[in-house]
């Protein structure tokens, strides 16, 4: 929609302060959101940590403020994600407050209409209250998994959490169909109480906010959004998929912490239409050497060409692909291509890609849906488990590897999804959903309308 001149005039001079969680899967959607809101007439200031700091020169249209969060050296690594997130919430309060107070007192800049923080940085609600700034949150994950997070107290009361024994894993969660205990969004952490506290902090401080922005769309998650609307009692704005609001190359290329290996694209150009399985487990997950080798042989035996992202550090105890047998790729005669980091959105949009073997991080899941690429699901932790269950059981657009990582099962699952008649329904449902993900951004589409409402909502917030 064209911005009319009255609206533009009205909005001129409003600034939004955005604060991303400094992890790849959270930075990408926050910067996409910043671009979307900038295109609607707002000025943008990004507050960021020194850890994983973005490159301001990629965003000359934004201003940047850094806070020195003083993370202890041994907590800079994200091996225990929950400990890392708890630590950020514990130590960022003071520097973040000082930074925001400074921005608020700076009369040379436009007045601040509101703060938009990642939902996981829940400490920011207290700061916003103290400084009397409206706060909205961006939840970068799915609404469906947030429904599960918002049920943590109930899940604990009913004895599903913390998970006590392997024998419990297949049990259905009758309160949250079609989830089973093994689909609950947990992660290994030194102290399970920390996970509970982070989740409750995120949910409670979202309820206390002036509203939530979602990288999802009504046609995909209408039911979960309605449940959340009732439970949380704050306005919800599903305005996704964010990354499709801009040309594929512009957004996540700039916010990527690692360099994209463009050799993927020329390799894909040489493959047959829809023949390639693209394999990537995102920015944080890691696997054992045994699992790595099962994946390698499963891919090789499937006989489909594969493009595989092996991040440095993906395999425990290895720097990169050292555990592969000598000459592994050569013996496959060009059927496989391995890179350290791929331009994922471009890859998924390529006509040669026929399936995505993913860990079901929400960005990857949504990017796959937008390109109509059916998924092999291998969730590792937290919301990925819920996403995978929705992909395979609710939306019916993928197959989950249920029996661990074993080469025979991998080979069968890939063939079933990509080649067999059996997978036809899945492929068809995926194309239907792709269509819906396009339509929601059109002039009268649900996400476009939600974005209009969001702009009005922000303008109505008084600091």
Of 122-130, 214-222, 275-283, 424-432, the window that binds ligand UDX (rule: CB under 6 A) is 275-283
241 binds ligand UDX (CB under 6 A): no
Say if CB 391 and CB 186 are below 8 A apart: no
Binding mask 299-318 for ligand UDX (x = CB under 6 A): ----------x---------
State the number of binding residues for ligand UDX (CB under 6 A).
27
Please report where in the chains the tokens 């891919």 appear, as a residue: 299
137: β partners: 117, 212
CB burial readout 385-397, b (16+ within 10 A) else e: bbbbbbbbebbbb
Residue number with CB closer to ligand UDX (78 or 453): 78
Please report where in the chains the tokens 């001079």 appear, as a residue: 13
Restricted to residues 115-174, the positions that interact with ligand UDX (CB under 6 A) are 140-141
Residue number with CB closer to ligand UDX (118 or 411): 118
Kind of pairing between the strands at 112-118 and 236-238: unpaired
Phi, psi of 207 (to 5 degrees): -60, -35
307: β partners: 278, 337
- Applying CB under 6 A, among 201, 282, 374, 398 the residue interacting with ligand UDX is 282
Number of H helices, E strands in the chain: 19, 13
Question: How near is the Cβ of 369 to ligand UDX at its closest, in Å?
Answer: 12
5/247 Cα distance (integer angstroms): 25
Token pair listed for 422:
């059996």
Residue number with CB closer to ligand UDX (14 or 389): 389
Residue number with CB closer to ligand UDX (21 or 417): 21
Of 173-181, 294-302, 315-323, 336-344, the window that binds ligand UDX (rule: CB under 6 A) is 336-344
Binding mask 358-397 for ligand UDX (x = CB under 6 A): ---xxxx--x--------------xxx-------------
- Contacts (Cβ under 8 Å, ≥6 apart) of 172: 178, 179, 180
Residue number with CB closer to ligand UDX (86 or 252): 252
113/13 Cα distance (integer angstroms): 9
The distance in angstroms from the start CA to the end CA of the chain is 28
Residue number with CB closer to ligand UDX (23 or 399): 23
- Applying CB under 6 A, among 122, 214, 217, 341 the residue interacting with ligand UDX is 341
Restricted to residues 393-452, the positions that interact with ligand UDX (CB under 6 A) are none
- Applying CB under 6 A, among 88, 284, 401, 433 the residue interacting with ligand UDX is 284
428/437 Cα distance (integer angstroms): 14
Q: What Rg, from alpha-carbon coordinates, does the chain have?
A: 22
176/373 Cα distance (integer angstroms): 27
Residue number with CB closer to ligand UDX (25 or 305): 25
255 binds ligand UDX (CB under 6 A): no
28 binds ligand UDX (CB under 6 A): yes
Q: List interacting residues with ligand UDX (CB under 6 A).
A: 23-26, 28, 140-141, 252, 256, 280, 282-285, 309, 341-342, 344-345, 361-364, 367, 382-384
């Amino acid at each position: 929609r064209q911005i009319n001149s009255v609206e533009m005039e009205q909005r001129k001079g409003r600034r939004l302060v955005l604060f991303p969680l400094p992890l790849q899967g959270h930075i990408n959607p926050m910067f996409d959101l910043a671009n979307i809101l900038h295109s609607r007439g707002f000025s943008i200031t990004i507050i960021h940590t020194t850890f994983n700091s973005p490159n301001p020169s990629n965003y000359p249209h934004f201003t940047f403020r850094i806070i020195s969060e003083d993370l202890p050296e041994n907590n800079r690594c994200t091996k225990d994600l929950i400990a890392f997130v708890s630590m950020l919430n514990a130590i960022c309060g003071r520097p973040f407050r000082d930074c925001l107070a400074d921005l608020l007192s700076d009369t040379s800049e436009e007045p601040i209409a509101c703060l938009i923080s990642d939902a996981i940085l829940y400490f920011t609600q207290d700061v916003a209250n103290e400084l009397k700034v409206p706060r909205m949150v961006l939840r970068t994950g799915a609404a469906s998994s947030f429904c599960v997070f918002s049920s943590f107290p109930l899940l604990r009361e009913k004895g599903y959490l913390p998970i006590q024994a392997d024998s419990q894993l297949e049990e259905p969660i009758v309160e949250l169909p079609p989830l089973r205990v093994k689909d609950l969004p947990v992660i290994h952490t030194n102290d399970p109480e920390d996970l509970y506290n982070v989740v409750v902090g995120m949910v409670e401080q979202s309820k206390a906010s002036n509203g939530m922005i979602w990288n999802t769309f009504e046609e995909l998650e209408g039911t979960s959004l309605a449940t959340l609307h009732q439970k949380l009692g704050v306005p919800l704005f599903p305005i996704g998929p964010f990354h499709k609001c801009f040309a594929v190359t512009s957004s996540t290329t700039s916010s990527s912490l690692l360099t994209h290996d463009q050799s993927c694209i020329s390799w894909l150009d040489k493959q047959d239409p829809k023949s390639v399985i693209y394999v990537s487990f995102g920015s944080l997950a890691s696997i054992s050497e045994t699992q790595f080798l099962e994946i390698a042989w499963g891919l090789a035996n499937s006989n489909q060409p594969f493009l595989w992202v092996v991040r440095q550090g993906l395999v425990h105890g290895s720097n990169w692909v050292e555990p592969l047998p000598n000459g592994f790729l050569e013996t496959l005669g060009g059927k496989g291509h391995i890179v350290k980091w791929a331009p994922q959105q471009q890859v998924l949009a390529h006509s040669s890609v026929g399936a995505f073997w993913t860990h079901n991080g929400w960005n990857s899941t949504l990017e796959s849906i937008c390109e109509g690429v059916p998924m092999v699901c291998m969730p590792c932790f937290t919301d990925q488990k819920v996403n995978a269950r929705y992909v395979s059981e609710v939306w019916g657009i993928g197959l989950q590897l249920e029996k661990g990582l074993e080469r025979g099962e991998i080979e069968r699952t890939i063939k079933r999804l990509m080649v067999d008649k059996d997978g036809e329904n899945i492929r068809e449902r995926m194309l239907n959903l792709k269509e819906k993900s396009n339509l929601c951004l059109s002039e009268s589409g649900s996400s476009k309308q939600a974005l209009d409402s969001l702009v009005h909502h922000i303008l109505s917030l008084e600091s």
